[in-house]
């Protein structure tokens, strides 16, 4: 509506401008005032029409002219006209011309008003209800997806079997409410999905609606909060009003932490954002107020449950809390199989191997790997996606894109080969270390080379021996440089390795109780009401010194352990470095050949 008003005003202004500037006759001659006076004195003017500052006249030969009177009054003009027998006609200003000039002069103000109307509409401050009804501030931005539009079911969801099992009860509630209410049971009002990004929280919510065949309202938490106080609360009310009309239905709020954060959680411990807090208060009332929301289930998703307000998390609002974690090996295999359904595959594709090689990957990352494999196959102009394409896509997602354009000198390339060979050999020979998968000196991302270790099974906790083995392998690259180039030839390439090793040693002493002298005590920071505190005042200077000594002892032990292993296997270090320099990338089979003292051959 506001756009139409702006367009209409512009058109009217243009038409009035054209109308006021158009000449009565296209042949009208424009004269300056001096020429006009001279024509009068030469008896060449027959008639003049005086219209304010404009004078329209007619020559005695019948031609027309036009001139503009100067600002300074000319008292002799009328006498000159009468003395030379010129017919004088005066023109009265009409009301229409006055209004048109007034409209043109006020046109900028009208444009500003129309612009404000347009922006008010964009902010959802608009007329609602019936024609001529009252103003409704903050109409809901929730998008309604009808039950016929939702094609996603539990068949398209994998890698979260426990979450699906919990959610199936909600589907049963929506399908047959009477089945549970006749025993006195109440339908759950809310389900909170908690999990890392990309684990399928939104997908699972859509699958619930698809399985239950009910309407699905979807909105992001950030869409409630606006600059003006009260709009967000109004949107919440409006959304629940719409949902009640469609009940039974699902309201899905993505990233609810944008609106559901702890009230009064600013840096000083009090106060807060009035608009966000009022929106949260309204959400709390709608979910568990005096009015019942029969058949309306709120499903919310977040990866930050620690910042949510306690009133939002209590039973009666979010009755169910469903944790959706990163998928295990079997779950990753099922996810990959789902995404490969519509992709033509060659016979050599083994999804189990891809699943084992992607520990810690979310469902979104696995979908990205499959998509990258399809793109690589299209670039190669082949008809089927092969294992080669999937392996390449996996390396690209996990290790980064190859930087083939990066030119390295022969000396730097050889030093990188020794660095990565040091990591690989220590990882192979340390007890309980993750198996090696691939070594490459092709620059990827920010790294000049990559050594990949992949566990045979998914691990959720690590022993002290495994952690020490990992620190030793981190120092393998620097030690290899030191053995081949001398201490003065060590480069900065090991900076990230040293950082990771130091952080692990710090956690061993401060968090995990892996120090024999300091005992199983938590020395690091802790949280109270989501606020970080440091227990500095509870530690003496002597305790700090002992903690530092324990970290130094762990680092020294791992460094010299790795040093002795590499020194005993210097011949294998040289052979692996030469193989990397020659092939640039070597796999597990080639690494095993090197460990037997044989220069590796390609598969």
Residues with catalytic function: 420
Pairing state between β 54-59 and 64-68: antiparallel
CA dist 309 and 262 (Å) reads 4
CA dist 554 and 275 (Å) reads 52
CA dist 85 and 9 (Å) reads 46
Those residues whose C-beta lies under 8 Å from the C-beta of residue 408, and which sit 6 or more positions away, are 416, 443, 448
Q: If we measure between CA atoms, which residue out of 183, 193, 199 comes closest to residue 256?
A: 193
CA dist 384 and 387 (Å) reads 10
The answer to whether the bond into 248 is cis (omega within 30° of 0) is: yes
Neighbours of 177 (CB within 10 A): 17
* CB-CB contact of 481 with 422 (8 Å): yes
Q: If we measure between CA atoms, which residue out of 120, 129, 310, 123 comes closest to residue 225?
A: 123
Residues 269/273/279/280 CA torsion (nearest 10 deg): -10
Neighbours of 103 (CB within 10 A): 14
399-434 b/e (C-beta count within 10 Å ≥ 16 → b) = beebeeeeebeeeebbbbbbbbbbbbbbbbbbeebb
Helix axes of 464-485 and 495-510: crossing angle, nearest 10 degrees: 150
């Amino acid at each position: 509506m506001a756009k139409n008003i702006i367009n209409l005003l512009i058109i009217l202004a243009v038409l009035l401008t054209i109308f006021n500037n158009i000449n009565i006759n296209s042949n009208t001659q424009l004269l300056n005032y001096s020429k006009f006076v001279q024509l009068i004195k030469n008896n060449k003017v027959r008639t003049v029409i005086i219209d304010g500052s404009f004078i329209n006249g007619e020559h005695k030969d019948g031609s027309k002219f036009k001139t503009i009177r100067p600002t300074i009054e000319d008292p002799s003009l009328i006498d000159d006209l009468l003395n030379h027998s010129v017919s004088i006609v005066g023109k009265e200003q009409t009301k229409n011309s006055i209004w048109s000039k007034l409209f043109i002069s006020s046109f900028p103000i009208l444009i500003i008003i129309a612009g404000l109307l347009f922006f008010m509409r964009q902010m959802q401050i608009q007329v609602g209800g019936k024609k001529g009804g009252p103003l409704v501030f903050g109409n809901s931005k929730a998008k309604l997806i009808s039950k016929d539009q939702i094609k996603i079911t539990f068949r398209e969801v994998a890698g979260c079997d426990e979450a699906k099992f919990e959610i199936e009860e909600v589907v049963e509630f929506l399908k047959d409410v009477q089945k549970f209410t006749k025993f006195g049971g109440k339908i759950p009002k809310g389900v909170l999905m908690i999990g890392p990004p990309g684990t399928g929280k939104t997908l699972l919510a859509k699958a619930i609606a698809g399985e239950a065949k009910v309407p699905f309202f979807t909105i992001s938490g950030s869409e409630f909060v606006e600059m003006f106080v009260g709009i967000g609360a109004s949107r919440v009310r409006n959304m629940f009003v719409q949902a009640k009309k469609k009940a039974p239905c699902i309201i899905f709020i993505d990233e609810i932490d944008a609106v559901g954060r702890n009230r009064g959680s600013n840096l000083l411990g009090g106060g807060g954002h009035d608009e966000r807090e009022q929106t949260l208060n309204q959400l709390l009332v709608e979910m568990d107020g005096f009015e019942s929301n029969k058949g309306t289930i709120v499903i919310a998703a977040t990866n930050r449950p620690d910042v949510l307000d306690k009133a939002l998390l209590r039973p009666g609002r979010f009755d169910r809390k469903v944790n959706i974690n990163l998928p295990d090996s079997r779950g990753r295999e099922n996810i990959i199989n789902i995404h490969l359904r519509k992709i033509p595959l060659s016979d050599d594709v083994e999804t189990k191997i891809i699943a084992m090689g992607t520990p810690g990957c979310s469902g979104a990352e696995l979908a990205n790997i499959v998509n990258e494999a399809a793109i690589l196959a299209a670039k190669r102009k082949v008809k089927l996606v092969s294992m080669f394409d999937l392996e390449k896509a996996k390396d690209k997602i996990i290790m980064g894109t190859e930087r083939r354009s990066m030119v390295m000198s022969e000396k730097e390339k050889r030093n990188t080969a020794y660095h990565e060979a040091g990591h690989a050999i220590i990882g192979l020979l340390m007890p309980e270390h993750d198996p090696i998968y691939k070594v490459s000196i092709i620059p990827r991302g920010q790294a000049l080379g990559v050594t990949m270790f992949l566990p045979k099974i998914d691990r959720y906790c690590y022993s002290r021996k495994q952690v020490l083995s990992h620190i030793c392998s981190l120092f393998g690259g620097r030690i290899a440089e030191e053995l081949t180039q001398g201490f003065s030839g060590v480069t900065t390439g090991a900076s990230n390795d040293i950082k990771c090793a130091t952080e692990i040693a710090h956690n061993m002493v401060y968090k995990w109780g892996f120090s024999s002298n300091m005992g199983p005590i938590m020395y690091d920071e802790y949280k109270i009401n989501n606020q970080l505190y440091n227990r500095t005042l509870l530690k003496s200077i002597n305790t700090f010194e002992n903690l530092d000594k324990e970290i130094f002892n762990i680092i020294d032990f791992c460094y010299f352990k790795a040093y002795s292993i590499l020194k005993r296997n210097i011949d294998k270090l040289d052979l692996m470095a030469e193989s990397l320099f020659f092939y640039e990338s070597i796999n597990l089979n080639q690494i095993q050949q090197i460990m037997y003292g044989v220069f590796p051959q390609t598969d």
